Amino acid sequence: MNAMYEGKYPLGTALARPLIVAKTVEVARREGADAIAHGSTSKGNDQVRFDVTAKALAPDLEVLAPARVWGMGREQEIEYARRHGIPVPEAHKKYSIDENLWSRSIEGGPVDDQRLEPPEDAFKWTVQPEKAPDQPTYVEIEFEGGLPRAINGERMDMLSLVKALNQIGGAAGVGRIDHIESRLVGFKSREVYEAPAAVILFESHRDLEKLVLTPRELRFKHNVLDPYWADLIYQGLWVEPLRLAIEAAAGEMERWIDGWVKAKLYKGSVQIVARDSKYGTYSKELADYSKGWYPTDEEARGFIEMWSLHSLTALSKRSMDKK
Ligand code: ARG
């Protein structure tokens, strides 16, 4: 789904929440519990994602959010953990960090000042781009039905593939994201992320879609389906029925996304430098300016006349009555 919230955030945290709830409900059922709990405060997005998914999956289970009930902030939560012998990693005292396969989210502390570049100690998965190797790293990714299946000719399961891309990308300084983010709870926040695999796959997959999809499919997917899907995920609405409808429409197009993409990673940047697909609609013969197919002058003029007719008609109407 090329999911990048507001064009930038690959949604690692947001995507994880519904899954965490599903697993929590599983455990609650096994234990015969009548409630589940989470540690979100009343200020964040995560409380919404946890609560909404829990209500959908297990309406009979009560959801307890002690930090919310007791009105605790982060400092109080850390203090509470300390008093009860729950270890809190050092980095988590300075920043609020959430980490999983898809992304590492860093917020709070020094990152809260949007006028300052994030300090280097905020990052863990990526080398500082200026310290990345002076030679580019090439990685070739193969897709089948829209899903990445192999890198550099080696087939692997998706877990290994994402881990490998996080490694390769991180070493090249790829995947640092600095984002002013519209929170779903009514205010903006400055967020920093590390997501090398997500960024590489986003660029690669979108590139292959451009080769294969018709211009109409492409616009509908990139401008409508993808951002709409990302918004649902961000806003805690994984369970919203529309998600499945969007996925069905996208899935119809993804059937044809077979092929490979070559990405060039260099000091923090990702460039797609080559690609091919058996369903690709690019034709060198059609595109070539020096030979092959050429419309006649008359054909071209006729096409242009009809093509522009709507716009030119409207323009002439409006110029009669200048408002
Ligand atoms: N802003 C991101 C989101 O809402 C990341 C949140 C990270 N969560 C955290 N507790 N640090 O998805």
| pLDDT band at residue 323 using 50, 70 and 90 as cut-offs | low
| pLDDT band at residue 245 using 50, 70 and 90 as cut-offs | very high
Which pTM does this prediction carry? 0.95
Mean pLDDT value across residues 218-238: 98
What pLDDT score does 89 carry?
86
Q: Is the pLDDT of residue 266 over 70?
A: yes
Task: Determine the distance separating the centroid of ligand 1 and the alpha carbon of 273, expressed in angstroms.
Answer: 33
Atom in ligand 1 nearest the alpha carbon of residue 5: 12
Q: What are phi and psi of 27, to 5 degrees?
A: -65, -40
Give the contacts of 54 (CB within 8 A, at least 6 positions apart).
Answer: 21, 24, 25, 36, 61, 63
**Residue type for position 53:** T
Residues with CB under 6 A from ligand 1: 13-14, 45-46, 96-98, 105, 107, 181, 191
How many CB atoms are located within 10 Å of the residue 241 CB? 8
The domains located in the chain, with CATH, are 12-287 (3.90.1260.10)
- Least confident stretch, 34-43, 48-57, 148-157, 251-260: 34-43
Task: Determine the distance separating the centroid of ligand 1 and the alpha carbon of 45, expressed in angstroms.
Answer: 7
What pLDDT score does 93 carry?
83
Task: Determine the distance separating the centroid of ligand 1 and the alpha carbon of 171, expressed in angstroms.
Answer: 24
State both tokens at 199.
């960024």
What pLDDT score does 288 carry?
86
Select from 9, 19, 41, 46 the residue to mutate for testing ligand 1; criterion: most ligand atoms less than 8 Å from CB: 46
Q: Is the pLDDT of residue 321 over 80?
A: no
Q: Is the pLDDT of residue 168 over 90?
A: yes
Select from 72, 103, 191 the residue to mutate for testing ligand 1; criterion: most ligand atoms less than 8 Å from CB: 191
> What residue owns the CA closest to ligand 1's atom 4?
45
DSSP assigned state of 220: I
User: Pick from 288, 227, 220: which is nearest to 254 by CA?
Assistant: 220
Average pLDDT, the chain: 96
Mean pLDDT value across residues 174-199: 97
Q: Is the pLDDT of residue 274 over 70?
A: yes
Q: How far is CA 109 from CA 72, 127, 190, in A?
A: 17, 21, 11
Q: Is the pLDDT of residue 269 over 90?
A: yes
Mean pLDDT value across residues 85-89: 91
Of 18-22, 183-187, 318-322, highest mean pLDDT = 18-22
What pLDDT score does 72 carry?
87
